[in-house]
Amino acid sequence: MLFRPFLRWYTPWFNAYSFPLARANEYEADATSARLASPGAAAGAMTAWLTRAMARTTTVADTHPSLADRLGALDEQPRIAVPAAGAGADGLLGASRERIEQALDEQWRNRVAPSWQEKHAAVQQGRQRLAELDARHASGAELSPQEVYEHACLIESHRDDADAALARFRELHARVPDDPVVLYELGVRLLARDDDSGCALLERAMQIDENATLSCCRALRDFHWRNGREEDTHAWNARLEERAVHEGAAAKERNEVRLDDRFEHHDLDEQALAKLQRQLRTVEGLRKAYFVRKSVSHMPARPCYVLGFTIGGFLRRHRERRVAEVVRTIQSGVSFVGETLIISVDGANYRFGRKFRWMRGSRIV
């Protein structure tokens, strides 16, 4: 209680002042590399996947500057560092090369085999599903919007036919013109072809669903950067950074529950409440359950709920373990209508239980 107000005041200031130092430290590290070797050697060491790396810009979330900024600080141009003649594995490892290769190959095979098997099974299932949708589409049967979306994605991923997939996305957009997912998927594919018409689709997607803002802003920024539109690039990058800060604040607000938080009635309709109650009654060991809505200042239209629960009469020394088991059971077996924080209101958290008890309609089990 004594330190919490100070830390809440001090931590943001500390982060704000130390962030430039962290970024400056990276520049100092590069400068040291240049002094010990040469600016050219330092530039070559940090340069890879050149075009994509140079297109990336430094944002307010980066302690490491972008490659373009780091090379600019060294006054060097990007270059690919190619090993000198005789500096390859054949010359450096000598007779040990074959043994090392075999050992590394075996480690690699053991590590990737399970994921390759999963990938193989997924590809086979995808091909089978694509054949089914192809047949239904060819027969003239009307696919649902979800099936058209799935068909377009499978055509793109399993048949590698971008044109046919784009045509299916256009058809889907004509059927559901205001679906934000369809707007985004069609928009990014058009922008990948440097088709400006994708811009309007992404802007519309953000208007309908604010949760699409980050991905849409990123796609628009990259599109304008590729096409040399510096002013538009900076404008979309600024909006991207602003949204990232906003979502970060919203995530922090939704990751904790404090006694000084404000709580409201959960506002679930009868059907959703009944379903939640049925699921909670199957949780072994759960005695009481309170369900409330937390008041949030960031993204208030996106609800944040709190489920407080108590457990049955177990011995004190087993209580923590039992609480953890109940939490795991709730997380795996109960579906919630929105973001929900789960807390025990027993023991040290008894004041939450007392607060929830006095709220009308909060107890649901």
- Do 329 and 284 touch, CB atoms closer than 8 A? yes
User: Could you say which of 22, 45, 78 is where a domain stops?
Assistant: 78
* Structure confidence at residue 20 as a pLDDT band (50, 70, 90): low
- Residue 290 domain-assigned? yes
| Single pTM value for the model | 0.63
* Distance in angstroms (rounded) separating the CA atoms of residues 201 and 205: 6
Report the side by side order of strands in the sheet with 263-264. Answer: 263-264, 286-294, 304-311, 339-344
Res 50 pLDDT > 60: yes
pLDDT tens digits, 168-191: 999 999 999 999 999 999 999 999
Res 315 pLDDT > 70: no
**The dihedral of CA 268, 272, 277, 280: what is its sign?**
negative
48-68 mean pLDDT: 67
**The dihedral of CA 238, 211, 204, 191: what is its sign?**
positive
- Residue 7 domain-assigned? no
The CATH code of the domain that includes 276 is 3.30.70
User: Could you say which of 11, 44, 78 is where a domain stops?
Assistant: 78
Q: Enter the DSSP assignment of 359.
A: S
With helix as H, strand as E and coil as C, how does 61-112 read?
CCCCCCHHHHHHHHCCCCCCCCCCCCCCHHHHHHHHHHHHHHHHHHHHHHHH
Q: Quickly list DSSP for 223-275.
A: HHHHTT-HHHHHHHHHHHHHHHHHHHHHHHHTT---TTS-EE-----HHHHHH
Res 9 pLDDT > 70: no
* Structure confidence at residue 307 as a pLDDT band (50, 70, 90): very high
Mean pLDDT of the chain: 86
- Residue 165 domain-assigned? no
- Residue 199 domain-assigned? no
- Judged by DSSP in three states, 309 sits in strand
- Residue 173 domain-assigned? no
- Do 216 and 205 touch, CB atoms closer than 8 A? yes
Q: How far separated are the first and last CA of the chain, in Å rounded?
A: 33
* Distance in angstroms (rounded) separating the CA atoms of residues 209 and 198: 17
338-347 mean pLDDT: 90
Q: Enter the DSSP assignment of 282.
A: T
Query: What is the count of structural domains for the chain?
Result: 2
- For residue 92, the model assigns a pLDDT of 77
- Residue 56 domain-assigned? yes
- Could you list the residue range(s) of the whole structural domain that residue 69 is in? 30-78
- Residue 234 domain-assigned? no
User: Could you say which of 78, 97, 113 is where a domain stops?
Assistant: 78
* Structure confidence at residue 70 as a pLDDT band (50, 70, 90): confident
- For residue 7, the model assigns a pLDDT of 61
In the structure encoding, which two tokens stand for residue 171, read together?
């058809």
- Residue 346 domain-assigned? yes
Give the Cα-Cα-Cα angle 209, 215, 221 (nearest 5 degrees): 120
